[in-house]
Amino acid sequence: MTDEATAMDTRPTKIMYVAEATAHGGRDGYVTSQDGQIELKVAMPPELGGDGNGTNPEQLFAAGYSTCFHNALILVGNRSGYDLTGSTVAAKVGIGPNKQRGYGLAVALSVSLPVLDPDIAAKLVDQAHEVCPYSNATRGNIDVTILLG
């Protein structure tokens, strides 16, 4: 094991929950979850040559990342005794070609912590970025920019 792997091993030590979803037809089909909570039409966005008549993987990723990061932020805020009432996290997920002739993602998270001092808000955002499973999964794989406003 390398020093880097030892220093930052973010793999779970115990699986507490497993989500399951199935795609039918790729980007021009539909996606369902095993428990029936998700049943969505999926379509290519117009910017990628589709009709945009459905959601897409980038929107689903943005929804998941923003929700997960916001929960991590609330967790670290509560641990430190801060009230995060009125806070929000918005995610933008971009897709485009990469140098390996495939495609890659880039994420921009916009965090609003209106009731906190900016220095405290920045510390909580940094802590949330270390705790959030999406941040841990994407670290070193895709560009993630966090804007605090």
Alpha-carbon separation of residue 64 from 17, 46, 90, 92, 122 (angstroms): 15, 22, 10, 11, 22
User: In total, how many domains does the chain have?
Assistant: 2
Residue 28 belongs to domain spanning: 1-55
**pLDDT tens, N- to C-terminus, the chain (149 residues):** 334 444 578 889 999 999 999 999 999 999 999 999 999 999 999 999 999 999 999 999 999 999 999 999 999 999 999 989 999 999 999 999 999 999 999 999 999 999 899 999 999 999 999 999 999 999 999 999 999 98
Same domain? For 45 and 10 the reply is yes
Residue 111 sits in a domain of what CATH number? 3.30.300.20
Same domain? For 20 and 9 the reply is yes
- Euclidean distance between CA atoms 3 and 34, whole angstroms: 39
- Euclidean distance between CA atoms 43 and 30, whole angstroms: 8
Whole-model pTM? 0.91
